[in-house]
Chain A
């Protein structure tokens, strides 16, 4: 599947799950800050991505915490005084290779904004490539 085909399917999922317009779905649009996604929408998006990219031969399954690591706030090694620590940043970079961290100031309140349309497309693309390897 080409990059453009993946992008088109991801856009279709976002239009359905978030009720947003096609022209709002651009690479750097944040799902939460720009497209208004709430926490339950992420579960909706995950379910719809699984359905959209699964085939009979190769089920596409997204594990809980795979798109976005869980329990970040509760770990003092990762978060101190409302800011992601160096150790936390290393963990995020390792577990979220689909995310572009340039411009991220480490503020915990902005972690949720890191998932952009482009990050979601990259996430799907990496998973499909890994499954095909």
Chain B
């Protein structure tokens, strides 16, 4: 499934917290170039995965009726690389939300899946989201909610979070 950088939602406390997992696989083509002899999950795609995790949490607050757009990467700290075979866990918490948008904070954990390995916190990603219809008046935005499209519907549905209104 293109451009989904989380595999499964494993916890959802509405309006407060959402946790998602991402399994890093050698079958992902970009790892062959990043880098040829040392495949590492690009940090930008970890941020995208956190943005999807956090964005779903923000969207769920208003039953996925708002167009929730990533507007600002406020803080990123990642202290360790993720390699094929590793699992990443993104734990997003809702810091603030109002009509205009939301602020989120997330922790990134990694499990190397070696014998007995446990989750290790490897960083944090704080983001800002805009509710596009409330902030971009004058811009010609489509009526339909293009943010929570087919790909999102599939993962939301698999996690019991199907947005009936989309």
Q: Which residues of A contact B (CB under 8 A)?
A: 16-17, 39-41, 43-44, 47, 50-51, 64, 74
A-B contact count (CB 8 A): 29
Residues of A within 8 A of B137 (CB): 74
A2–B79 Cα gap in the complex (Å)? 39
Chain B residue at minimum C-beta to C-beta distance from A38: B72
Is B135 in contact with A47, judged by CB distance below 8 angstroms?
no
A interface, over-half SS: helix
A40 to chain B, nearest CB (A): 4
Q: Which of A17, A47, A64 has the most CB of B within 10 A?
A: A47
Is A43 in contact with B130, judged by CB distance below 8 angstroms?
yes
Q: Which residues of B contact A (CB under 8 A)?
A: 71-72, 74, 95-96, 98-101, 103, 128, 130, 135, 137
A31 to chain B, nearest CB (A): 15
Is B98 in contact with A64, judged by CB distance below 8 angstroms?
yes
Return 19 A-B CB contacts under 8 Å, by A number: A17-B74, A40-B71, A40-B72, A40-B101, A40-B130, A41-B72, A43-B71, A43-B101, A43-B103, A43-B128, A44-B74, A44-B128, A47-B96, A47-B103, A50-B96, A51-B96, A64-B99, A64-B100, A74-B137
